[in-house]
Amino acid sequence: MSQSVNQQIDAFTLDIVKDSLIAIGEEMFYALARTSMSPIIYEVLDYASGLTDVNGQLLTQGNGATGFIGLLTFMVKETIAKFGKEGLKPGDIIIINDPYVGGGSHLSDVGLVLPIFYQGELVAFSANKAHWTEVGGKDPGSWTTDSTEIFQEGLQFPCVKIYEEGKLNQALVDIIAANVRFPDLSLGDMWAQIAALRTGERRFIELCDKYGKDVVMASIDRLLEHGEQMTRKQLALLPKGTFEAVDYIDDDGVGNGPLKVQVKVTITDEKFICDFRGSHPQVLGPVNCSYAALVSAVRIIFMAITNPSQDVNDGIFRPLEVISDKGSIFSCERPAAVSTYWETMNYGADLIWKALAPVLPHRLTAGHLLSVCAVIVSGMHPDTNEPFLIVEPSVGGWGAGQGKDGEPGQFCIGDGETFNVPVEVAETRYGVMVEEYSFRTDGAGAGEFRGGSGCIRTYRALTDNQFVTATFGRHKYLPWGFNGGKDGSENSFTIIKANGETDGPFGKYARYPLNKNDVVRLVTATGGGYGDPFKRPAEKVAMDVKNEFITLEQARIDYGVIIDPETFAVVGFTEERLQKERK
């Protein structure tokens, strides 16, 4: 698009088309949710969909899991690199889940790409990525905590055409059906993804018909340039310099750890550089993270720092640079196991968060639960005698911040605006009883503003020969407090057997056997606190005790407030708090 042509189009039309592109991404998103077969998609919203331009630059993305911000771009660019634009034809659809190139995360996140043609010319791409309940592999659910190479984790789709010029590759569909444990779910979700892609294609062509291809192309340029301008305005307001953070991943799931990870964030007038070099090399267990997934994690926190309300597109990220050693835990290479990649990916965001929270307290809070706290439960349904499979994340506590307590019962940063499976759906579709779903009132994360509460969820097995696999990171290294606030609590899960014996707590465990009336108790972290706990107003402390978020003893020890156990009135202060207030 030449500058002269661009100038001939009025700004109002360009903005209308720009907003129409964003609306297409949203319509694609809802089309997928409404036609999918799996609760992890239509309930949890563990997927993303959107449009890119002809070069793979993201234009719009309807997002469930924030961890997918950036993966669509890599998928489309890999498609272009493999086939070339001349090798793509109308009616083609490409399937890809390669973790090491092309927007890979783990094999369960299956991406589809559809090239959009207008009057014979390639003009854009429609793309989506969704978590399939099953892609095969050694374990039901296709992720586990003890895989040691990618070949154990399921089917790999190395950027191949599932439709070629409108003709279905039935052989590939047959291979999928023969290699997954729940083919109706997996293939049903694939057809839903295809329907959403075609929705995006149809709407984009309609836009070209209505306004003309040149106007749409000019609006794409305007959309990307506007994203960049908005980011650069915010970048100019950020503190300049280099900021560093170090943390530790508990282990890799097969006995190796702790694993040191680090970042050096350099902010200049033109660049926001995140350098993860020096972090632990890739490991034997499945916590390894691909470079594309690392970039997505960095993009999440970058948007939170610059402009959280901005609609996502690649223009926003032009000032962003992400550096990592090849073959590291943040940029692994084949055949590294990656099935629980999120345990590392989320540290990509959290390290930057931790480094910059002290200088950006108005945007960044104390540490949160961090881990997806993902769970698989599998077995036979007591009513239907058919196999069932639970695959879902867990909610927990977020950290407190300047002027605010932390949020209780929220998903981690990598899951974003997703949902948990409702109790009623879980009990109907699965062979379990949900006996408790409550806030964790452990009183951790004390501060002038206290950390948000974690949650407790329990599943009682209703049949024999079930099993649970779970990965609860931050089991040993706690959500961090800052500015005088205390650390939060750990993520963990415990098995309570039918005879009353307990086993655990665990951070990671693969295929723990469950029999009828055994209970899995899932406990997520309370977030870190912000500020000196002795500065928390006594009335708020009393209300926390009354609401059972903290105990009388915690009120006295952590906050220096003495509460009447009958009336919950403040009756005094400890000498330690009084001395601190005198100072």
Ranges of residues in the chain with a pLDDT under 50 are 1-6
CA distances from 48 to 160, 256, 282, 452, 497 (A): 20, 33, 27, 27, 39
Instruction: Using alpha carbons, select from 207, 232, 297, 288 the residue that is nearest to residue 25.
Output: 207
- C-beta neighbour count of 160 within 10 angstroms: 14
pLDDT of residue 206: 96
Residue with tokens 């698009």: 1
CA distances from 282 to 257, 297, 374 (A): 12, 18, 21
DSSP 385-417: --EEEEEE---BPPPPBTTBPPPSSB--TTT-S
At residue 17, the 3 state secondary structure works out as: helix
165: its two tokens: 């010029």
Degrees, nearest 5: CA angle 331-332-333: 125
Find all residues with CB under 8 Å of 210, minimum gap 6, and list them: none
**Contact assessment for residue 377 and residue 432, using Cβ atoms and an 8 Å cutoff:** yes
- C-beta neighbour count of 548 within 10 angstroms: 10
pLDDT of residue 8: 66
Using CA atoms, how far apart are residues 155 and 128, in angstroms rounded to an integer?
18
- pTM of the full structure: 0.92
In single-letter form, the type of residue at position 137 comes to G
pLDDT of residue 420: 78
Using CA atoms, how far apart are residues 246 and 263, in angstroms rounded to an integer?
7
Which 8-state DSSP code applies to residue 533? G
- C-beta neighbour count of 234 within 10 angstroms: 18
